[in-house]
Amino acid sequence: MRFFLTRGRFGAILGLLCIAGFAANAGQSSTKPSVSPAWPKAEPAAVRHWQALRFGMFIHFGPVSLTGHEISWSRGVETPIAVYDNLYRRFDPTNFNARQWVRIAKAAGMKYIVLTTKHHDGFCLWNTKYTDYNIMHTPFHRDILAELSKACRRQHVAFGAYYSVCDWHNPDFPLTSPGGKVKRAKSDLDAYNRYLLAQIKELIVNYGPLITIWNDVPEMFKGRGAQTIKLARSLQPDILINNRTGDGGDYDTPEQHVGKYQEDRPWETCMTLCRQWSWKPNDKMKSLQECIQILVSCAGGDGNLLLNVGPMPDGRIEPRQVERLKEIGAWLHKNGQSIYRTRGGPWKPTGSYASTRRGNTIYLHVLRWQGDSIELPDIPREIRSARVLHGRRVKVAHLDGELRLTLPAADHHAIDTIIKLKVHGSAMTVPALDALH
């Protein structure tokens, strides 16, 4: 497929970049990487809002679902490049229902959705003007991004756009498949950067407001990512951008593992519900216990969780994955007060527990017990009450700098025993505490 920017579009984009002040001076090319990239910081209120949501749905989808192999990474490996690049000609997800996708996310207790609008393979799930390698040139011929963003707005779910910084299909990008390790004999990174910025503008202007632009694989964009951030902020001041632009961003993105406890910078773990990002037949799925404990550990570390599903070729989210998501949602319906609108701590997460807090309340999530008690570092606050969430009282004892909480084994919950502690004064000012040695 051919990539193109008409002279008119190219001129309009250059005008926008100059108005936004991307060049350091009038003689500098708008696409030249800056020596010390600077970009407007995120609005604190927008960051707090995003953190309060805590749990979102990641969706990896595209023509690759026809093969059951991994998105982008299978190009030139399991699937020959010429075959992979023509999968879109057979891509017809006739059972796609944006409203149903959003209903599934809501049933899971998820507060936002992030869709792979363009992965490393370059295929675009929206009606972009800048390449014909997009959803409108498939048999499906419907703008998936438009339908999903509209469904999110109607159902009051925040919507974000994943957009890969690299593009192994675009001839202007220096690297190609397999795995972005093959260097093209001829490329033009400046031209590709103009293409990228034009598409970022399309996403925000035509499908926003967006809660985030979620970039990926930024290794070649050092010094250029600031342009992405400046453009995004000029179009939507309250948008968030992750740390994979090439020049940082507003929040960190640990992948396939729970991030460390971190109060000073927002973060979000992205993780698959199964093993593969895109749909794979009979892929091994995480148990309910695994899912809940991952979510709890993220919240306890003061981070978000973006849990991924890969819809099937016909556009449906796999029924067994839907059932697992509903189970998570049922747990959150009962226990969500200990996750949403909380901050992590004061006890840093371990393999046995995590904690969240809000106001004068601490929620201790006990994931593993040894006997009837759990010992923690004591906190400089009077504990006025301690009881299992929706359950009985918990015995509290203070012993030489240790806090011991005791609860009969019959009252332990198999997945997560949540102990709600009411303290005198603010729980938010208690310093973070490491596990006892």
With cut-offs at 50, 70 and 90, classify the pLDDT of residue 24: very low
With cut-offs at 50, 70 and 90, classify the pLDDT of residue 168: very high
DSSP state of 419: E
Bridge-partner residues for 164, per DSSP?
A: 216
Rounded to an integer, the average pLDDT of 246-275 is 97
pLDDT tens per residue across span 88-142 = 999 999 999 999 999 999 999 999 999 999 999 999 999 999 999 999 999 999 9
pLDDT at position 260? 97
Give the amino acid at 7: R
In terms of phi and psi (left: phi > 0; alpha: psi -120 to 50; beta: otherwise), the region of 176 is: beta
pTM of the model: 0.91
Rounded to an integer, the average pLDDT of 217-232 is 94
Q: What percent of the chain has pLDDT over 90?
A: 89
Tokens of 173: 């990008």
Which candidate, 337, 379, 281, 319, places its Cα nearest to that of 100? Answer: 319
Which domains are seen in the chain, by residue range?
7-338 (3.20.20.80), 345-423 (2.60.40.1180)
pLDDT tens per residue across span 273-282 = 999 999 999 9
pLDDT at position 437? 64
pLDDT at position 217? 96
Helix axes 189-207, 144-154, angle to 10 degrees: 40
Tokens of 8: 């008119």
Alpha-carbon distances, residue 17 vs 10, 30, 40 (angstroms): 11, 7, 15
Inform me whether the pLDDT recorded for 20 exceeds 60: no
pLDDT at position 259? 98
